[in-house]
């Protein structure tokens, strides 16, 4: 790599655009052998072999299988395993994952079983048995594959409506009633989890510098965060289209976000219903609210699309279209990737290659974390998006046969090269509990804008050097990695990447025999949150009774817990008091919060109505 010295003495040399450049690359003559019939065939073929012996019944060699270091053999492995999708301009390099021929051979029957499971899923099987639901996100980009014409029509009609609505908003055929701009200029998206992460990722990746409508998100029940978003809109609230997204239509954080935004509208003298849009399942609480209040529009979320795989439904497509992103291109990218990932030849199926690598790298039990490092600022949120897609899908206590398995695959990462200045030190030299996925984007800038900031080297060359330097340095220390390469960040390539990972998760889930499409663990936290709020109400009632006495009776935490009939909840009661005391809740706490036993509490005023309620 070029030396750093002199890096800040820009040379103004403009690069001559070479029109043939990308063509040369995409037509690079990667040798494609006659497709082998199975992985087992491959292991008997001329591919280089990696001499790791397997321990008894494990699919992976027991201890550490040293990765190939011989440059010539590594190049052979690179060339042999390089996957290319020509039409999408996407490459997948798995050469720096050390799977062996023996591993591939043993995996082959499992892979074939997984392909069969995916085939049945796409045909409309109840692939989510707990919730008795079909899993149909693949139909969203290929409606003709839906199991019946009713679903096909639903998908197509919804897509047409999204396009028409977005066009009417952008062209100001539909206007907000009291906007000085005379048109919608902002989107405020209210939603959480799968109803927000995809739209956030896509906005960051694809929104133009000056979109027809700018988007911001409320994705939490943090009052300060909500206030910040509303304050940032300022007078533009009058020109804001509020899209409330919730599949269930009853998620508390989203409901709270909606109530806070509606209050802001009231206070600004605006009519929310003329600016509100709902995306939710038919007849959900949100749907009924939107219908009764006469909101501007309602779009459906289908029962058979899960939140974390909803990017190609109205959830992802409506916000994207309103930002001027070509959503039909996103769908084309996803459909092309779906087609490629239906192949039952592992080597020719990039999602199968990914899931097979995950299995190898994490022993099929999540023993290693997946660090996702896109070297492109616009893909910053990809790892965050993947975190939900992968971890909520694969992180399960039981397998499909009811065995306790505590499965999962941890995902984290932000972007390169920024993360090289944060935690890559540990990855290179510290605890060896991860593998990396590099996301490489070949095109640095739009054509005609590049320049050499030192002789022969552009800013993008540095980014390129950082990626490959890190990949090599990690590999030299036996740290495995996968590299996904795309030509550019476009609606098509983003659609393809979403589809690639959706399918990889589906295949991997089949390999480890778990239901990827439910999330029973999330319910426990929601239920516990409800219990905390119920306890808070009981605490307030007890305090009110004591505070209405003459004279007022300050209570210790033990006394409050006893009167709430919840002595085992004393710690939570302490936390409730601490939180309310910090938030001007007419509650007076004497003593020191640092020594909870000294605390005595009463209310600043007695609420007589509540006493007799």
Residues lying near ligand G6P in the complex (CB under 6 A): 192-195, 246-248, 251, 254, 307-308, 392, 519, 522
Cis amide bond preceding 417, omega within 30: yes
Output the CA–CA distances (angstroms, integers) from residue 551 to 137, 554, 611, in the order listed: 64, 9, 16
Of 194 and 276, the one with the shorter C-beta distance to ligand G6P is 194
Q: How far is the CB of 260 from ligand G6P (least distance, A)?
A: 16
Q: How far is the CB of 300 from ligand G6P (least distance, A)?
A: 13
Q: What does the block give as tokens for 176? A: 């907000």
* DSSP state letter for 30: P
Query: Do 563 and 557 form a contact (C-beta atoms < 8 A)?
Result: no
Q: How far is the CB of 290 from ligand G6P (least distance, A)?
A: 14
CB-neighbour burial class of residue 444 (10 A; exposed 0-12, middle 13-18, buried 19+): middle
> How far is residue 584's CA from residue 602's CA, in Å, rounded to a whole number?
13
Q: How far is the CB of 282 from ligand G6P (least distance, A)?
A: 14
Of 251 and 323, the one with the shorter C-beta distance to ligand G6P is 251
Output the CA–CA distances (angstroms, integers) from residue 313 to 280, 288, 377, 405, 545, in the order listed: 11, 20, 25, 32, 51
Of 89 and 307, the one with the shorter C-beta distance to ligand G6P is 307
Of 251 and 362, the one with the shorter C-beta distance to ligand G6P is 251
Output the CA–CA distances (angstroms, integers) from residue 237 to 56, 242, 293, 296, 319, in the order listed: 65, 9, 19, 16, 17
Query: Do 577 and 592 form a contact (C-beta atoms < 8 A)?
Result: no
Q: Which helix (H) or strand (E) holds 249?
A: none
User: 491-511 and 101-123 helices cross at what angle (nearest 10)?
Assistant: 110
DSSP characters over 114-156: HHHHHHHHHHT---BTTTTB---GGGGT-GGGSSSHHHHHHHH
CB-neighbour burial class of residue 347 (10 A; exposed 0-12, middle 13-18, buried 19+): buried
Q: What are phi and psi of 83, to 5 degrees?
A: -100, 135
Q: How far is the CB of 309 from ligand G6P (least distance, A)?
A: 10
> How far is residue 79's CA from residue 399's CA, in Å, rounded to a whole number?
37
For the beta sheet containing 411-412, the strands, ordered from the edge strand earlier in sequence to the opposite edge, are: 83-85, 90-93, 481-486, 434-441, 369-374, 411-412
Q: How far is the CB of 519 from ligand G6P (least distance, A)?
A: 4
365 CB neighbour count, 10 Å cutoff:
13
> How far is residue 455's CA from residue 595's CA, in Å, rounded to a whole number?
66
Q: Which helix (H) or strand (E) holds 108?
A: helix 101-123
Of 306 and 366, the one with the shorter C-beta distance to ligand G6P is 306
Q: How far is the CB of 193 from ligand G6P (least distance, A)?
A: 3
Largest pairwise CA distance in the chain: 92
Helices (H), 207-273: 223-233, 252-267
Q: How far is the CB of 307 from ligand G6P (least distance, A)?
A: 3
Of 308 and 368, the one with the shorter C-beta distance to ligand G6P is 308
Q: How far is the CB of 383 from ligand G6P (least distance, A)?
A: 17
Q: Which of 35, 61, 39 is CA-nearest to residue 50?
A: 61
Active site residues: 392, 421, 526
Of 246 and 515, the one with the shorter C-beta distance to ligand G6P is 246
Of 13 and 248, the one with the shorter C-beta distance to ligand G6P is 248
Of 104 and 314, the one with the shorter C-beta distance to ligand G6P is 314
Of 308 and 396, the one with the shorter C-beta distance to ligand G6P is 308
> How far is residue 525's CA from residue 41's CA, in Å, rounded to a whole number?
48
Q: How far is the CB of 505 from ligand G6P (least distance, A)?
A: 13
Q: How far is the CB of 257 from ligand G6P (least distance, A)?
A: 10
User: Which segments within 160-213 are labelled E, that is strand?
Assistant: 186-190
Query: Do 600 and 552 form a contact (C-beta atoms < 8 A)?
Result: no
Of 281 and 490, the one with the shorter C-beta distance to ligand G6P is 281
Give me the residue label for tokens 């529009």: 297
């Amino acid at each position: 790599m070029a030396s750093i010295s002199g890096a800040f003495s820009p040379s103004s040399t403009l690069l001559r655009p070479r029109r043939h450049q990308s063509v040369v690359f995409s037509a690079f003559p990667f040798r494609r052998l006659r497709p082998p019939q199975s992985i087992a065939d491959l292991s008997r073929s001329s591919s280089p072999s990696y001499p790791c012996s397997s321990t008894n019944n494990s699919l992976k060699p027991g201890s550490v299988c040293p990765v190939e270091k011989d440059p010539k053999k590594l190049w052979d492995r690179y060339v042999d395993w390089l996957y290319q999708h020509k039409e999408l301009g996407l490459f997948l390099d798995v050469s720096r994952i050390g799977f062996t021929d023996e591993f591939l051979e043993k995996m082959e029957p499992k892979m074939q079983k997984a392909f069969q499971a995916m085939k049945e899923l796409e045909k409309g099987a109840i692939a989510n048995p707990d919730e008795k639901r079909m899993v149909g996100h693949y139909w969203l980009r290929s409606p003709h594959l839906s199991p019946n014409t009713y679903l096909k029509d639903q998908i197509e009609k919804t897509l047409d409506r999204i396009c028409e609505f977005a066009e009417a908003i952008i062209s100001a055929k539909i206007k907000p009633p009291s906007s000085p701009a005379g048109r919608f200029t902002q989107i405020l998206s209210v939603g959480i989890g799968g109803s927000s992460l995809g739209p956030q990722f896509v906005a960051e990746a694809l929104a133009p510098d000056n979109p027809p409508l700018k988007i911001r998100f409320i994705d939490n029940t943090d009052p300060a965060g909500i206030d910040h978003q509303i304050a940032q809109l300022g007078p533009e609230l009058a020109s804001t289209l509020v899209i409330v997204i919730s599949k269930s239509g009853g998620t508390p954080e989203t409901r709270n976000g909606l109530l806070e935004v509606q209050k802001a509208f009231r206070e600004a003298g605006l009519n929310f219903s003329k600016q509100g849009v709902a995306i939710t399942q038919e007849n959900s609480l949100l749907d009924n609210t939107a219908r009764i209040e006469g909101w501007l529009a309602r779009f459906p979320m289908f029962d058979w699309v899960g939140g974390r795989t909803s990017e190609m439904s109205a959830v992802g497509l409506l916000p994207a279209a309103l930002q001027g992103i070509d959503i039909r291109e996103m769908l084309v990218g996803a459909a092309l990737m779906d087609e490629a990932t239906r192949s039952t030849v592992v080597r020719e199926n990039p999602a199968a290659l990914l899931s097979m690598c995950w299995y190898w790298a994490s022993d099929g039990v999540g023993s290693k974390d997946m660090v996702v490092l896109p070297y492109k600022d616009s893909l910053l949120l990809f790892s965050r998006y993947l975190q939900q897609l992968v971890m909520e899908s694969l992180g399960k206590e039981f397998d499909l046969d009811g065995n306790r398995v505590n499965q999962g695959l941890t995902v984290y990462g932000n972007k390169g090269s920024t993360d090289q200045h944060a935690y890559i030190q540990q990855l290179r030299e510290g605890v060896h509990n991860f593998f990396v996925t590099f996301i490489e984007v070949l095109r640095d800038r739009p054509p005609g804008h590049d320049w050499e900031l030192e002789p022969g080297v552009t800013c993008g060359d540095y980014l390129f050097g950082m990626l490959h330097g890190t990949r090599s340095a990690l590999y030299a220390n036996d740290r495995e990695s996968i590299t996904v390469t795309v030509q550019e960040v476009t609606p098509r390539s983003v659609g393809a990447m979403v589809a690639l990972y959706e399918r990889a998760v589906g295949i991997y889930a089949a390999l480890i025999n778990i239901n990827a499409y439910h999330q029973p663990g999330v319910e426990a936290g929601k239920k516990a949150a409800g219990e905390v709020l119920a306890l808070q109400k009981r605490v307030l009632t007890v305090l009110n009774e004591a505070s209405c006495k003459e004279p007022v009776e300050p209570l210790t935490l033990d006394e409050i817990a006893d009167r709430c009939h919840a002595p085992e909840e004393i710690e939570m009661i302490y936390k409730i008091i601490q939180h309310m005391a910090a938030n001007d809740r007419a509650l007076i706490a004497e003593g020191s919060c640092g020594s909870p036993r000294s605390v005595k509490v009463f209310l600043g005023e007695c609420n007589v109505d509540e006493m007799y309620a």
